[in-house]
């Protein structure tokens, strides 16, 4: 889709269920970085009692507690809009609880397996220890994204299947927690991560990756901003801590 055509449609899914850690910031930074390049956008907020429009270009899911996560998975499965969009190649970016529910299954309120959407070949459960703190990762080279940084707060353990690739190799922090040293996963244009912060605010390169995927073209470079300076400060602080 070219920038001269219809606006880029960004869909924020279920902010009433999946927005525990300020993940609306991910929508704001996508709008802003698109606007700085003259790319028009249309932002759509879809509550859990509304249908998910299958014609969106970028879909965003945030973090949430156990019960809201289960409700979101059930309603998205019945709705079908996100599944249709992903099947035609739309971009899906999910954080924490949203990341887990994209997989085949995740842990429920008592640790029981709950069926996910199957958009990523991952399976998640509940670990013995909670991962809380800063995380840094070296991103897969094929994504052309700088080192990522974020804040993780989860007890999930996510195992990657053969149908996905890890988003990053953990330099500092826990990430997926499965013992393989990886953080996040992606397949095609579907990407999930445990990083809050919000993730796209702290990692403008990751935001630009989603825009590139959605537009099907390279982007005009932007001058470094306060976000990049803050990101560098966080990276330096984490990596300099013994």
Chunked in runs of 10, what are the mean pLDDT values of the chain (242 residues)? 73 94 93 96 98 98 96 98 98 98 94 96 95 95 94 96 98 96 98 96 95 96 81 82 74
As to burial, measured by CB atoms within 10 angstroms (0-12 exposed, 13-18 middle, 19+ buried), residue 231 is buried
**pTM score:** 0.94
CA torsion 204-209-210-212 (nearest 10°) is 120
φ/ψ (deg, to 5) at 186: -150, 155
The catalytic residue among 45, 96, 104, 189 is 96
Residue 159 falls in the annotated catalytic set: no
SS3 of residue 65 by DSSP: coil
Residue 129 falls in the annotated catalytic set: no
Half-sphere exposure of 109 (CA within 13 A, CB side): 4
Taking alpha carbons only, the member of 101, 93, 122, 120 closest to residue 201 is 93
């Amino acid at each position: 889709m070219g920038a001269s055509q219809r606006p880029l449609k960004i869909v924020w899914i279920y902010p009433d269920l999946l927005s525990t850690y300020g993940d609306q910031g991910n929508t704001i930074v996508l709008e802003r970085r698109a606007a700085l390049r003259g790319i028009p956008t249309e932002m759509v907020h879809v509550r859990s009692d509304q249908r998910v429009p299958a014609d969106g270009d970028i879909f965003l899911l945030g973090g949430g507690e156990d019960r809201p996560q289960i409700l979101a998975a059930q309603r998205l499965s019945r709705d079908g809009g996100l599944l249709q969009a992903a099947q035609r190649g739309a971009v899906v970016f999910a954080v924490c609880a949203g990341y887990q529910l994209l997989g085949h299954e995740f842990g429920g309120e008592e640790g029981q397996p709950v069926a996910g959407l199957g958009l990523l070949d991952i399976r998640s459960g509940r670990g013995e220890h909670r991962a809380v703190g800063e995380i840094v990762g070296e991103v897969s080279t094929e994504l052309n994204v700088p080192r990522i940084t974020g804040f993780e707060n989860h007890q999930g353990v996510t195992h990657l299947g053969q149908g996905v690739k890890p988003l990053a190799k953990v330099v500092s922090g826990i990430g997926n927690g499965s013992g393989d040293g990886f953080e996040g996963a992606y397949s095609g244009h579907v990407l999930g991560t445990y990083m809050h912060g919000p993730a796209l605010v702290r990692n403008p390169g990751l935001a630009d990756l989603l825009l590139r995927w959605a537009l099907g073209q390279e982007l005009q470079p932007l001058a470094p901003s306060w976000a990049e300076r803050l990101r560098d400060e966080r990276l330096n602080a984490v990596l300099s801590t013994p």
